[in-house]
Amino acid sequence: MGKIVRPQGPIVCVVGARPNYMKMAPLLRAFARQPDIPGVVLVHTGQHYDVSMNARLFADLGLPPPDINLEVGSATHAVQTAEIMRRFEPLLDELQPSCIVVVGDVNSTLACSLVASKKRTPIVHVEAGLRSFDRDMPEEINRLVTDQLADLLYTTEHEATTNLAREGIDTKRVHFVGNVMIDSLREHLAHAVSAASTLGNAGIDPSIASAPDGFGVVTLHRPSNVDNPDRLGEALAVLRDAASRLPLVWPVHPRTRANIERFALTGMLKATPIVLLEPQGYLEMLGLLSAARLVLTDSGGIQEETTALGVPCLTMRENTERPVTVSHGTNTLIGRDSVRARACVAEILRTGGKRGCIPELWDGHAAQRIAKHLGVWLTAQAVALHSQS
């Protein structure tokens, strides 16, 4: 047996877009507490750059400012992915990391994994194995490829492990650890900003937060819902319908806001109790979600957060890569079907809707489990390397 050697080189942790931040924040904290984990270099690709999509969330989550920002900005998928790869490659040459850690399924996750795999740098993918089985979703392509390349795959639900096994991925590389996004939620929930304050700060009547039937929260940004005028029109019709039953509060993603204007659909929101807000900080979103009577969304993370909070979630998609939120949680898939949406909203107002239960290991300690396992793994890698030399 070889001598124990401490792994050399830092861990390069990659973030690029909003949903990455709440996953990476608990990991960075857990890595700092784990003695056999080397130092961390935090790389931001710059995929998201608006203050409301980016800096504000860093502050809310207690994330340190990135050590390096690749400042790629927005572009087509191919250009954005290529640009991240072009800028990430020399960084890996310089840093010679012991591994890279990527989270989720955004373009930055895929781009950095591709670069690392060609450099033979180990890839750790947190939130591996989720599948919508819908290749029209750009994230599905990112998930499939990243998981094929990853050396260590940490999963949030059992279904993910089954998906990876089906794709021929060695189950020895796969570890069910729970959900780091829920680590963040549990850590910050007590500091959430109240819904009334968020509305008041935006110059909106805060009494909406205490409307007799409660209020709903909306988020919508998937290309499948917002990039086509007909589909966006259908989605807005669903929201208008729901708003005839209870007021809706909608922090609007910049992509969606731009498309509502481009497709001349602003009229559909006129004279409705739908309150449009700028994208909100993490603590504001937690306050809104936790106080909501129901949530209408096409976000992946919000399906999980509502399950963790026990708030009914109507997901405006035909599928989900997070089936545990439907089987165990509070999630219901409604697509853009306004008849179904109307029935679900009425049911929630009448009965309170799906109560659900908390999925296994969504207990606030997923990052700790990952840090512990990764520390042992890196040490074993170093030992193996040393005994070969």
Binding site for ligand UD1 (CB under 6 A): 17-19, 47-50, 53-54, 74, 105-107, 138-139, 221, 253-255, 258
CA distance linking residue 255 with residue 334, whole number of Å: 22
What 3-state DSSP class applies to 166? helix
Question: Which residue number, 47 or 290, has a Cβ lying nearer to ligand UD1?
Answer: 47
Question: Which residue number, 173 or 255, has a Cβ lying nearer to ligand UD1?
Answer: 255
The residue written with tokens 């109790």 in the block is 273
CB-CB contact of 243 with 218 (8 Å)? no
CB-CB contact of 275 with 249 (8 Å)? yes
Question: Which residue number, 50 or 89, has a Cβ lying nearer to ligand UD1?
Answer: 50
Question: Which residue number, 75 or 196, has a Cβ lying nearer to ligand UD1?
Answer: 75
**Sheet of 68-69, strand order:** 68-69, 40-44, 11-15, 99-103, 123-126, 152-155, 174-176
Strand 274-277 vs strand 248-251: parallel, antiparallel, or unpaired? parallel
Give me the least distance between CB of 116 and ligand UD1, in Å please: 17
The HSE-up count of residue 69 (CA atoms within 13 Å, CB side) is 12
Q: What is the maximum alpha-carbon separation in the chain? A: 74
In degrees, rounded to 5, the angle at the alpha carbon of residue 25 between the alpha carbons of residues 37 and 200 is 165
Question: Which residue number, 50 or 241, has a Cβ lying nearer to ligand UD1?
Answer: 50
Please give the structure tokens belonging to residue 152: 């260590």
Nearest to residue 265, comparing CAs of 231, 296, 298, 289? 231
Give me the least distance between CB of 222 and ligand UD1, in Å please: 7
Give me the least distance between CB of 67 and ligand UD1, in Å please: 20
- Which of 48, 221, 253, 365 is catalytic? The answer is 221
To the query of whether residue 373 is one of the catalytic residues in this protein, the response is: no
* Main-chain dihedrals φ then ψ at residue 322, nearest 5 degrees: -120, 65
Give me the least distance between CB of 149 and ligand UD1, in Å please: 17
Give me the least distance between CB of 294 and ligand UD1, in Å please: 21
The total number of residues shown for the chain amounts to 389
Q: Which helix (H) or strand (E) holds 32?
A: helix 18-33
Q: Which residues contact 375 (CB under 8 A, 6 or more apart)?
A: 34, 35, 36, 37
Question: Which residue number, 217 or 378, has a Cβ lying nearer to ligand UD1?
Answer: 217
Give me the least distance between CB of 106 and ligand UD1, in Å please: 3
CB-CB contact of 153 with 171 (8 Å)? no
Give me the least distance between CB of 256 and ligand UD1, in Å please: 9
Question: Which residue number, 19 or 364, has a Cβ lying nearer to ligand UD1?
Answer: 19
Question: Which residue number, 109 or 368, has a Cβ lying nearer to ligand UD1?
Answer: 109
Give me the least distance between CB of 313 and ligand UD1, in Å please: 15
Q: Which residues contact 219 (CB under 8 A, 6 or more apart)?
A: 250, 251, 253, 295, 296, 297, 298, 299, 302
CA distance linking residue 164 with residue 151, whole number of Å: 12
The residue written with tokens 């296994």 in the block is 360
Q: Please give the positions annotated as active site.
A: 221
